[in-house]
């Protein structure tokens, strides 16, 4: 990797500069050259997971902030030097390759990059002792985020912050028989293990690999989906075994469908559903169409704001509604570490208001006895238990159905060493 590391530093710094201006890191990395994307993503994600430490270090190592691309390059290199125990590349090679990257970027500050990184290596212990006195740098999360978790999860907040710094599991959803697919993986030189009894089609791949290497991916035999997200379809279709299955041809609404993983899972389990997939973002809705096309599944898709029912609803009630509502995405913070820095504390009130509007707009669209599954990929109580408690007060006829292990807040923390952690999620199932 060392011979090409300077190329990866160039691409990673470009993505990190875009992230610093407020863009999603995932979106920024889509512009990276395909042959460099995986390596550049690893560097960029490592830099974002070390964002607060890098910021504090650069304040001490520089008299004034460097230009955006040079600042981003320094962060990418510092993140590698911070993890000396885990690094696959020697520190002097990281420095040399970062300097070469600065030269390739035609940055006149190549000498500055060299000086800053070498000074960090000389003064590493002293600098880190200073930096780690700062709470943001110690936990690598904004202070408001830390305080929110302390309020919501006083016994787990530190574990949640620490878990967010670890690589997420690479979970798959298999369309056929799980043992047969596990055997195919082994034949392809890949190793997987079942997620557990709650996930009859779920497995974890260890270590991860590009989807192009997954047997049958292009043919729709397997999809990437976190274990927590795989609970949505069984919860909506039959309450994870606690409700009668939906009737044949049941009308189902997926109200905020993009990117389409849950839509596809519903149809894989029940191809006979009359399913409408909505999303307010027409561009993101295209991803739903692409997913359904790869899997050879059919659903009606429509770009519309689910709250504006007068525009899109035909007046016929639904048997079931999945509301995977817009949220802070705090539960997928481990998978998308840029989320913690792109979000603002003020966003929570705005998102909570939107979630309440969606619940109130969609609830009347259910037939008597119908069911609604509210979901957010959030750890915050205001988007989970507090949100549905307020909804239950506004709609006293809504009957909450508790499904142990599936509803409520799923924190993504293993109960024991053998458990498979996943994303943080919240589910609430209601019957009218």
Q: Is the pLDDT of residue 34 over 60?
A: yes
User: Which residue bears the tokens 């650069």?
Assistant: 58
Q: Is the pLDDT of residue 389 over 80?
A: yes
pLDDT band for position 108 (cuts 50, 70, 90): confident
Residue 412's pLDDT is 86
Span 334-387, pLDDT tens digits: 999 999 999 999 999 999 999 999 999 999 999 999 999 999 999 999 999 999
Q: How far apart are CA 370 and CA 389, in angstroms?
A: 19
When mean pLDDT is compared across 11-15, 195-199, 305-309, 420-424, the lowest value belongs to: 420-424
Span 180-189, pLDDT tens digits: 999 999 999 9
User: Which residue bears the tokens 């970027």?
Assistant: 105
Q: Is the pLDDT of residue 219 over 50?
A: yes
Partners of 410 in the β-ladder:
425
The answer to whether the CB of 403 falls within 8 A of the CB of 239 is yes
Query: DSSP string of 343-397?
Result: --TTHHHHHHHHHHHHHHHHGGGEEEEEEEEEEES---GGGTHHHHHHHHHH-TT
Q: Is the pLDDT of residue 4 over 90?
A: no
Residues assigned a catalytic role: 377
Pairing type for strands 251-254 and 318-324 reads parallel
Q: Is the pLDDT of residue 431 over 80?
A: yes
The answer to whether the CB of 156 falls within 8 A of the CB of 86 is no
Can you give the C-alpha Rg of the chain in angstroms?
A: 23
Q: Is the pLDDT of residue 141 over 50?
A: yes
Residue 414's pLDDT is 66
3-state secondary structure of 172: strand
Is the Cα torsion angle 240, 242, 246, 251 positive or negative in sign? negative
Residue 417's pLDDT is 42
The answer to whether the CB of 288 falls within 8 A of the CB of 259 is yes
**How many other CB atoms sit within 10 Å of the CB of residue 369?**
11
Q: Which residue from 392, 422, 388 is spatially nearest to 405, judged by alpha carbons?
A: 422
Per residue, what are the HEC states of 152-170?
A: HCCCCHHHHHHHCCCCCCE
294 versus 36: which is more confidently predicted?
294
Span 244-300, pLDDT tens digits: 999 999 999 999 999 999 999 999 999 999 999 999 999 999 999 999 999 999 999
Q: Which two tokens stand for residue 383?
A: 């988007």
pLDDT band for position 415 (cuts 50, 70, 90): low
Q: How far apart are CA 372 and CA 365, in angstroms?
A: 10
Q: Is the pLDDT of residue 2 over 50?
A: no
Average the pLDDT over 405-410 and give the result.
93
H or E element, residue 342: helix 339-342
**How many other CB atoms sit within 10 Å of the CB of residue 129?**
9
Q: Is the pLDDT of residue 134 over 90?
A: yes
Which residues, including other chains, have CB under 8 Å from residue 126's CB and lie 6 or more apart? none
Mean residue pLDDT of the chain comes to: 94
Which residues, including other chains, have CB under 8 Å from residue 255's CB and lie 6 or more apart? 278, 306, 321, 322, 323, 324, 325, 358, 362
When mean pLDDT is compared across 118-122, 377-381, 420-424, the lowest value belongs to: 420-424
Q: Which residue from 155, 173, 160 is spatially nearest to 229, judged by alpha carbons?
A: 173
Residue 211's pLDDT is 92
The answer to whether the CB of 3 falls within 8 A of the CB of 95 is no
When mean pLDDT is compared across 43-57, 76-90, 358-372, the lowest value belongs to: 76-90
The answer to whether the CB of 426 falls within 8 A of the CB of 410 is yes
Q: Is the pLDDT of residue 3 over 50?
A: no
Q: How far apart are CA 423 and CA 355, in angstroms?
A: 20
H or E element, residue 171: strand 170-174
The answer to whether the CB of 34 falls within 8 A of the CB of 126 is no
The answer to whether the CB of 44 falls within 8 A of the CB of 54 is no
**How many other CB atoms sit within 10 Å of the CB of residue 194?**
16
Residue 416's pLDDT is 44
Pairing type for strands 366-376 and 318-324 reads parallel
Question: Up-side HSE of residue 211: CA atoms within 13 Å toward CB?
Answer: 12
**How many other CB atoms sit within 10 Å of the CB of residue 221?**
16
């Amino acid at each position: 990797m060392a011979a090409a590391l300077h190329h990866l530093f160039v691409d990673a710094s470009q993505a990190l500069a875009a992230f610093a201006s407020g863009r999603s890191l995932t979106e920024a990395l889509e512009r990276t050259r395909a042959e460099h994307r995986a390596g550049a993503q690893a560097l960029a994600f490592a830099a974002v997971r070390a964002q607060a430490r890098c910021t504090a270090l650069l304040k001490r190592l520089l008299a004034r902030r460097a230009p955006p691309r040079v600042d981003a390059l320094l962060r990418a290199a510092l993140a590698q030097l911070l993890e000396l125990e885990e690094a696959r590349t020697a520190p002097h090679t990281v420095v040399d390759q970062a300097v070469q990257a600065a030269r390739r970027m035609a940055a006149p500050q190549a000498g500055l990059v060299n000086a800053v990184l070498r000074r960090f290596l000389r003064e590493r212990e002293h600098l880190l002792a200073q930096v780690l006195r700062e709470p943001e740098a110690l936990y690598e999360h904004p202070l408001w985020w830390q305080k929110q978790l302390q309020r919501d999860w006083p016994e787990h907040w530190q574990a949640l912050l620490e878990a967010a710094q670890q690589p997420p599991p690479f979970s798959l959803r298999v369309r056929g028989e799980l043992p047969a697919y596990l055997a195919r993986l082994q034949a392809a030189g890949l190793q997987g293990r079942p997620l557990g009894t709650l996930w009859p089609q779920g497995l974890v791949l260890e270590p991860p690999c590009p989807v192009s290497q997954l047997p049958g991916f292009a043919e729709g035999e397997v999809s990437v989906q976190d274990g927590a997200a795989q609970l949505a379809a069984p919860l909506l279709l039959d309450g994870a075994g606690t409700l009668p299955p939906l009737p044949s041809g049941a009308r189902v609404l997926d109200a905020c469908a993009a990117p389409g993983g849950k839509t596809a899972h519903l149809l894989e389990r029940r191809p006979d559903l009359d399913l409408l997939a909505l999303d307010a973002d027409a561009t993101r809705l295209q991803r739903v169409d692409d997913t359904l096309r790869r899997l050879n599944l059919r659903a009606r898709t429509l770009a519309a704001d689910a709250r504006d029912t007068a525009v899109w609803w035909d007046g016929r009630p639904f048997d079931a509604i999945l509301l995977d509502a817009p949220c802070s995405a705090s539960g997928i913070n481990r998978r998308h570490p840029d989320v913690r820095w792109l979000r603002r504390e003020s966003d929570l009130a705005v998102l909570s208001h939107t979630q309440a509007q969606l619940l109130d707009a969609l609830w009347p669209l259910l037939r008597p006895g119908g069911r609604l599954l509210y979901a957010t990929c959030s750890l915050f109580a205001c988007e989970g238990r507090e949100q549905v408690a307020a909804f239950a007060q506004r709609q006293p006829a809504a009957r909450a159905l508790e499904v142990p292990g599936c509803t409520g807040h799923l924190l993504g923390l293993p109960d024991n060493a053998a458990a498979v952690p996943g994303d943080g999620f919240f589910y609430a199932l209601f019957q009218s």
